[in-house]
Amino acid sequence: MITDAKSFGEALRKRRKELGYTQAFLSEFSGFSVSFISDLENGKNTAELGKAIFLANLLGLDCSLTPRN
């Protein structure tokens, strides 16, 4: 479950590593800087939401919001 920027970043890092991608490769492929990807994976709260969702989708992860009961 994703509850904050840190858990979101950890999920991205885990998936990137499962795919065998380096941050440098992802940077070249996405056009985002390595420092942005690193900040996102480290849970930096100021990361841009649109870019974060784009990278998640690029790594084959779906993002969804569901109501809590």
Could you write out the three-class secondary structure of the chain? Answer: CCCCHHHHHHHHHHHHHHCCCCHHHHHHHHCCCHHHHHHHHCCCCCCCHHHHHHHHHHCCCCCCCCCCC
pLDDT of residue 57: 95
**Secondary-structure class of domain 5-58 per CATH:** mainly alpha
Reported confidence tier of residue 40, pLDDT bands at 50, 70, 90: very high
Reported confidence tier of residue 47, pLDDT bands at 50, 70, 90: confident
- Predicted TM-score (pTM) of this structure: 0.86
The yes-or-no verdict on residue 56 having pLDDT over 90 is: yes
Q: Where are the domains of the chain?
A: 5-58
